[in-house]
Amino acid sequence: MSSKPVFTHFLALPLYTSTSANRLNTSLSRFAAEVTTPGTPTTASEDLTSSIEQLSLSKAASEHNESVPTTNNTNSPPCQARRLTSPLATSVPRSITAPLPREALRPIASLHLTLGMMSLGEASELERAAAFLKTVDVRALLESAATTAATAESTSIVQGNASSSSIPKEPLSIEDGSTRSSLIVTLRSLVPMHALESTSVLYAVPHDASGRLYPFCKALQAAFIEAGFMAPDERGLKLHATIVNTLHARARAGGVAKSDFRRQGQGQGQGQWQRWRTKNKVMKIDATELVERWKDEIWAEVQIEKVAICEKGVKMASDGLMRYREVAEIDMP
């Protein structure tokens, strides 16, 4: 019996870019302020800055099957909803009455779309994969994707997870004056990866008005599989930008693992998330209220700037943000 490969890297489209950083910082910091336990109330500017810093400096290793110790105080009293002084936090209805662990939120600068996992443990393998990436003609792949999109009956057929019933003739453009060939993605909504009432992952759905995103990503994935750098994904490509992953919210060593947050049906605890403590299990949440609250959210409009091979595990970068280290990259048109 052959052992499963140990994945060390992944192919991705980074979403935290020069055109999207400000919007992502604003929208995801507002999300964090609303769904997590706030600290000591401060001024509005300090509150927002703290939210951004705490997300960026989160002790998360990776959303690809790695657990991370939490810094939550397990002796603290049950969480109660509190309002922040930040105008971003108080400008929207607070329909969520209890918090998620802050460690469950992915660092903002690490946001990306995964195209496939790779096992590149040897330096020579990594060098070959990086060299292969440099040979990929992304402009040609985009042109081919446009042809695929033009012949599809609807965006839902092309992407598999979009709601539009037709494909506009031209891609969207954003305020920086990007060219017609640029790939523009709008991150929308909040969707559970698993059952709504019991999930560990919540993600934003990428929408592409030109219809090119999914066929472009499939073509990239196929190229790396054919070259032998990526194993075939039997589950199929599901493009998603992870915002919440409770795998990273496990209790620290010696503590009690928080494995499940569920709604209480009756009594004093009604309307709040209740902690079900079970050792050695990933925490699950009932995301009914979260999904309803954020279903119409537009997190950001992103111009895809590069395709990158990333090393697993977010790390502190030179700019002070927690992100995946890009070991090889190729610019997009």
Assess if residue 311 is contained within a domain. yes
Could you tell me the CATH number of the domain that includes residue 161? 3.90.1140.10
pLDDT digits 0-9 by tens, 278-331 = 455 778 889 999 999 999 999 999 999 999 999 999 999 999 999 999 999 999
Assess if residue 293 is contained within a domain. yes
- Domain residues for 17? 9-73+96-331
CB 286 within 8 A of CB 265: no
**DSSP secondary structure letter of residue 127:** H
User: Distance between CA atoms of 162 and 206, rounded to whole angstroms?
Assistant: 8
199 forms beta bridges with 285
Query: How many helices (H) and strands (E) would you count in the chain?
Result: 8, 13
Quote the number of domains for the chain: 1
**DSSP secondary structure letter of residue 147:** H
pLDDT digits 0-9 by tens, 146-163 = 999 988 744 444 445 444
Q: How many CB atoms lie within 10 A of CB 78?
A: 11
Torsion of CA 74, 76, 79, 85, to 10 degrees: -120
Calculate ∠ Cα 104-107-109, nearest 5°. 160
Assess if residue 68 is contained within a domain. yes
User: Distance between CA atoms of 61 and 44, rounded to whole angstroms?
Assistant: 30
User: Distance between CA atoms of 243 and 28, rounded to whole angstroms?
Assistant: 8
pLDDT digits 0-9 by tens, 13-72 = 999 999 999 999 999 999 999 998 543 232 233 333 344 444 444 434 344 444 333 334
What pLDDT score was predicted for residue 37?
Answer: 57
Q: Which of 93, 108, 70, 86 is nearest to 38 (CA)?
A: 86
Q: Mean per-residue pLDDT for 113-128?
A: 95
Assess if residue 80 is contained within a domain. no
Assess if residue 206 is contained within a domain. yes
Q: What is the pTM for the complete model shown?
A: 0.70
Q: How many CB atoms lie within 10 A of CB 150?
A: 13
